[in-house]
Chain A
Amino acid sequence: MARDEKIQGTKIAEGLTRRQLVEMHACARCGECQVWCPVYVQDSRELITARGKLDSLRRLVEGALSEDDRKDFINALYECSACGQCHVVCPVRINTHDLWEQARMSLVNAGIPQPEGQIKQLSAIKEFNNPFGKPQSERPRWADMAWKAGLLKARVPLWKEQRTPVVYFAGCMASFDSGLQPVAVQSARLLQEAGVAFSILGEDEPCCMSKLKRMGDSGFIGEAHKLAEMFDRMDVGSIVVSCAGCFKGLHGDYSTMWPGSKKVLHFSQYLDQLIQEGRLRPQRETRLRVTYHDPCHLGRHNQVYDQPRRVLQSVPGITLVEMPRHRAFSSCCGMGGGLKAVSSEIQHKMAAARVREAEATGVEAIVTPCQTCLQGLLNGKKEASSAMEVLHLNEVLVRSICPEVTHEAVEAELARRFAGA
């Protein structure tokens, strides 16, 4: 065994927790992870399974992995959406997704960097505070444009202008991606319809930095502390986030270092609360048979299953049909864990498989409450050449409450405005 490999193995071990080192030896090799893995369906290599990765990681730590096997293992470690399905079905309950993220970080610290695609995205986040590499001045433009276009009932105030009990955190995807900006506009409009006093952070809205953790960047802890301090200084009542990834970051990942993480709610949870309180009343009938896609970061990772379903079912005319794989067994669309930055082809195929599963239930639309999943599923729809509608949860509500701001209408109007600007 080469001395260098042993030294590197020791370094990697030092970056993992004791529990994780024990977990690598606890695998019963039953292969249940393989049965359920949505990536394995697309790329059927043993290394893709949790069993394969655990075995290779154990040998890597022991300095007993050959150079070729090491390369294959590193590729497989990043060719994973860290969806956590293997954790849920593992009879030994090995906390796989935490292990993959920690292993990525440990490998980077031992001198084995992430794949190029992820490095690019991480650099953009660190330099520009968003993965798109766009200036922060562009972040709140969706709100300005939507107000000017008459899509909102009032101008959305910035937190620094007006201290409101609720802050709406749109997230990078809905702020910068033109195809997803309607989600932010619809969220703001629904809050206005419910009479919620809210504001946005505008240019000061940071990236939640959760991608740093997903991709194993050791800068995550420092950045998270900075953001937690910022939110503490703001002393806001609730932070409502649109993206399941931001929710997993701010509510889940931050929980160990920030007690205020309890104030972070996902938009679907907040909508449910507003509907229960009678502040938001979906009254117009929307006849649609839909199925619901649980985002991994919302469902499996944070146990938010019921609230989005209640929101859906509060809309008159909506019939909810569950897919065979739902709730804790929901199949990942491939948008998590930095997988898309490594292989967009696999992401598209994973999402296509999910769209086909939805089609098989005979519904007209698949609905998700996460903008990142929405984008992923739209990729899948294209890949699967499906005619089925892929909708955000907001869209279903909007059709019942304020049909003038449908996704299509907002997207077209914003595109026109941005082109003019």
Chain B
Amino acid sequence: MTQIELINFPKPWFLFKSAMALSLGYMVFAFYRKWRGWSRGIEEPATVSGNYGSVAKIWLAEVILHRQLFALSFSRWFNHLLIFYGFIGLALLPLVAVILGNFGYLAQSTTTPRFYLHAAGYILMKLWGDTFGLMLLSGLVLSGIRRFVIRPAQHTNSQMDVVLLALLFFVTLSGFCLEGLRMTFVPAEVARYSYIGRLFTLPGAYPSEQVRQWLTMTWTVHFLFVALLFAYLPHSKLMHSLLAPVVIGMNAAAEHARKDLYWPEMKKYRAPRSPKD
């Protein structure tokens, strides 16, 4: 069993807390403004069709499985699924940490031997983070290739599209760089679980003080990108990740109530592949 010493390096906590407070505060404020804007609209009567099961089925198919995208284009479906689940997985990483922490698995001194939780949960965290990080990074790279190399006609590459893609890419990349630098201090038998992060390990040997400085720098860059993403989110097309599930549910319920749900038709006569794909 291996015990892991969590790597200590100087962290600019004041800057971190200020940046996060500012970006999260701004994000909440921007959402509040959007909410107020939406509240100006006409309130519709609730469209309760009585058949929640059918609406839930549509919601699961469209949101969880991206059925519509699958029908139109396999490559885009796969690409979006990588980004979608990569993003969700990474967003859940702190949650996993909290859960593991609460059960004592992340404590540095623990010696509890558990099935694949050797090293006190560290390995699970690494496997989880690297797998979902890899999914997100691959999805973003494939998106970039599609958008800038293949350039299908329907991609306009407006500022909104490019900025978000770049921001997500740098957040993920800086995360892996940070992990790679940490690998310098991790024993090889454990480092292998960071199967992507270890690819970002610096070649050669450096004094640990030097590596700690780089760690501080990379950590700062990483959280600044994250803070920027939080602040940009309400103005970005990433809004669709929050609103699309809502719209899909609401429109499926409305269509069901009107009895003009097109889903059975779509299911029976699958969409022809997107003509430009």
Contact = CB atoms under 8 A, between A and B. Distances in A.
Interface of A: 10, 13-23, 25-32, 34-36, 46, 51, 61-62, 88-95, 252, 255, 300-303, 305, 324-325, 327-329
Given A32-B154, A301-B260, 15 more contacts: A13-B40, A18-B41, A21-B38, A22-B246, A25-B34, A26-B240, A27-B240, A35-B275, A88-B262, A88-B266, A93-B68, A94-B251, A255-B258, A324-B272, A327-B269
A22 B31 CA distance: 12
Contact of B250 (A19, A88, A303): A19
Interface string B238-273: 011001101110111010001010100110010110
Contacts of B160: 29
B44 A303 contact: no
A300 B262 contact: yes
5 contacts: A10-B40, A18-B42, A22-B243, A27-B240, A46-B156
A120 to B, nearest CB: 29
Contacts of B276: 35
A283 B250 CA distance: 48
B44 A61 contact: no
Contacts of A26: 239-240, 243-244, 246-247
A30 B154 contact: yes
B66 A329 contact: no
Given A92-B244, A327-B269, A19 B44 contact: yes
B37 interface: yes
Contacts of B246: 22, 26
A18 B38 contact: yes
Contacts of A22: 38, 243, 246-247, 250
B57 interface: no
Interface in B1-53: 34, 37-44
Given A17-B41, A303-B260, A92 B156 contact: no
A328 B266 contact: yes
B104 to A, nearest CB: 42
Interface string B156-180: 1010110000000000000000000
Nearest to A23: B247
A17 B254 CA distance: 13
Contacts of A30: 76, 154
Contacts of A10: 40
Size class of the B contact interface (CB-based, 8 Å): 35 or more
A89 B270 CA distance: 11
Given A27-B240, A28-B240, A325-B272, A13 B260 contact: no
A328 B272 contact: no
B69 interface: yes
A36 B68 CA distance: 14
Contacts of B76: 30
Given A27-B237, A88-B262, A35 B274 contact: yes
B154 A31 contact: yes
Nearest to A327: B269
A93 B41 contact: no
A61 B258 CA distance: 28
The 7 closest A-B CB pairs, nearest first, are: A31-B154, A26-B243, A18-B41, A28-B240, A92-B244, A21-B41, A13-B40
Given A14-B41, A31-B156, A61-B37, A92 B248 contact: yes
A33 B100 CA distance: 44
Contacts of B265: 303, 305, 327-328
B42 A17 contact: yes
Given A22-B246, A91-B68, A303-B262, A13 B274 contact: no
A16 B69 contact: no
Contacts of A27: 237, 240
Contact of A25 (B44, B243, B274): B243
A26 B251 CA distance: 12
A300 B265 CA distance: 9
A13 B72 contact: no
Interface in B198-254: 237, 239-240, 243-244, 246-248, 250-252, 254
B244 A28 contact: yes
B7 to A, nearest CB: 39
Given A31-B156, A252-B260, A89 B271 contact: yes
Contacts of A91: 62, 66, 68-69, 72, 244
Contacts of A51: 156
Contact of A14 (B42, B154, B252): B42
B155 interface: yes
A90 B266 CA distance: 12
